[in-house]
């Protein structure tokens, strides 16, 4: 079925996998770098797109280099608040009505900025944009639905002392510890911080995530931190199956109680299963994917990003999203990094619609899965009311475009 671009622009949308440090406005990056005397490879948008933020990257390492520049301007409250505010504005303008912004607060520490301060600043910026939009005439007259947001705090599978003052101090303090113990300690401290902030300050930190290189840095090393947030009713997602096989996804579910999976790109890759005790690899994948589908564990699919970081994926047609949909998994499309991947949710949905044969019901289910799979910051009844409003608006747009 042909899905028109104008329809995609008008329907309510979500973005559940949205990295703050990969989604700045390019103009803001340049402006803040000049203000803070930070060196960039170029100081024009065209120059940076040629040298850093490219349409295509040769590998994941080249893709990740872009973050070396964006994080430099994200080391004080004012900049973090502004970047978060603008990100919410950009999504609102695009018709996105719910976002979950994830970032690693320990990565954004400075002498006058702690991890908790970073979380407060991002929340303040997002809230400012949400409050402005939700007071508009369109929302008050029910011509549009409200905008909501949540924050996902990212722990890192690994880090080094050059990544932030926080990591440097931790490595120095734990100078005799093994690296996995140091990485786990940082995760536990972040888990403790968000439990405190959600309980004492009611910050809308709705989820806990684990990001970074999968191979060699297993999720099971961080299971104590995940157990803590699990016991405190904070939802969980894990970057898994992005650059490693099905076993990484299995660990995310069993050791980290994952409610959603970030990427899940290699869920069906039998050749990437390394555990020799798994004799029947096909059955292992069948059981794993069936479990994910039946338990409605959401899969945060990022098409453009996946093609940029995984040379094995040559086109959308060869992306496993088609198989995920076929098997009934709860798939939702996300951007990953709006700036680094030069994308937005409208583009991602259009990519899917133009390359995968979908019925109207298929497409609707994918869009609505973003609302249903959200870690909404309110009560269950508030969440149900919001989802209902999104579904009603979607159906109204569907009726208008497909008479």
Distances from the Cα of 185 to the Cα of 79, 118, 175, 257, angstroms: 28, 19, 13, 19
Summarised one tens digit per residue, pLDDT across range 37-54 is 999 999 999 999 999 998
Instruction: Kindly tell me if the per-residue pLDDT of 19 is higher than 80.
Output: yes
Summarised one tens digit per residue, pLDDT across range 302-349 is 999 999 988 888 889 899 999 999 999 999 999 999 999 999 999 999
Summarised one tens digit per residue, pLDDT across range 203-218 is 999 999 999 888 889 9
Cα angle 57-59-62, degrees, rounded to a multiple of 5: 65
User: pLDDT value at position 61?
Assistant: 78
Q: Which of 151, 195, 104, 212 is nearest to 374 (CA)?
A: 151
- Domains for the chain: give ranges and CATH numbers: 5-401 (3.20.20.140)
Helices 165-173 and 179-200 meet at what angle, rounded to 10? 120
The set of long-range contacts for 288-291, using a CB threshold of 8 Å and a minimum separation of 24, is 288/246, 288/249, 288/250, 289/327, 289/329, 290/327, 291/253
Grade residue 279 by pLDDT with cuts at 50, 70 and 90: very high
pTM of the entire structure?
A: 0.97
User: pLDDT value at position 70?
Assistant: 97
Label residue 138 exposed, middle or buried (CB < 10 Å: 0-12, 13-18, 19+).
Answer: exposed
């Amino acid at each position: 079925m042909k899905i028109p671009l104008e329809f995609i622009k008008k329907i309510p949308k979500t973005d559940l996998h949205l990295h703050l440090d990969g989604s700045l406005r390019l103009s803001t990056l340049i402006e803040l770098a000049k203000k803070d005397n930070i060196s960039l490879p170029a100081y024009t948008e065209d120059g940076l797109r040629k040298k850093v933020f490219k349409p295509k990257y040769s590998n994941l390492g080249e893709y990740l280099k872009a973050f070396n520049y964006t994080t430099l301007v994200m080391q004080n409250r004012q900049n973090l608040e502004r970047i978060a505010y603008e990100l919410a504005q950009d999504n609102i303008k695009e018709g996105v009505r719910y976002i979950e912004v994830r970032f690693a607060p320990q990565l954004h520490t400075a002498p006058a900025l702690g991890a908790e301060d970073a979380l407060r600043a991002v929340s303040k910026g997002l809230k400012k944009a949400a409050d402005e939009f939700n007071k508009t005439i369109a929302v008050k007259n029910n011509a549009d639905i409200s905008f909501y947001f949540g924050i996902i705090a990212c722990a890192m599978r690994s880090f080094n002392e050059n990544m932030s003052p926080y990591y440097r101090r931790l490595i120095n303090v734990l100078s005799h510890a093994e690296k996995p113990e140091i990485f786990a300690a940082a995760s536990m401290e972040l888990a403790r911080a968000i439990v405190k902030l959600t309980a004492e300050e009611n910050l809308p930190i709705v989820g806990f995530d684990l990001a970074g290189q999968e191979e060699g840095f297993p999720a099971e090393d961080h299971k104590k931190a995940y157990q803590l947030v699990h016991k405190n009713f904070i939802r969980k997602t894990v970057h898994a199956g992005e650059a490693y096989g099905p076993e990484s996804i299995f660990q995310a579910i069993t050791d980290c109680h994952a409610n959603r999976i970030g990427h899940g790109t290699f869920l069906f890759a039998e050749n990437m299963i390394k555990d020799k005790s798994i004799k029947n690899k096909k059955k292992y994948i069948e059981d794993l994917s069936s479990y994910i589908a039946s338990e409605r564990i959401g899969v945060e699919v990022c098409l453009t990003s996946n093609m940029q970081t995984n040379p094995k994926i040559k086109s959308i047609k060869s992306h496993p999203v088609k198989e995920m949909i076929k098997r009934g998994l709860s798939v939702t499309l996300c951007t990953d990094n709006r700036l680094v991947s030069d994308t937005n949710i409208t583009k991602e949905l259009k990519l899917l619609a133009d390359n995968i044969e979908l019925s109207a019901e298929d497409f609707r289910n994918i869009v609505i899965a973003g609302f249903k799979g959200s870690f909404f910051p309110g009560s269950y009844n508030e969440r149900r009311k919001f989802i209902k409003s999104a579904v009603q608006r979607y159906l109204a747009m569907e009726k208008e475009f497909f008479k």
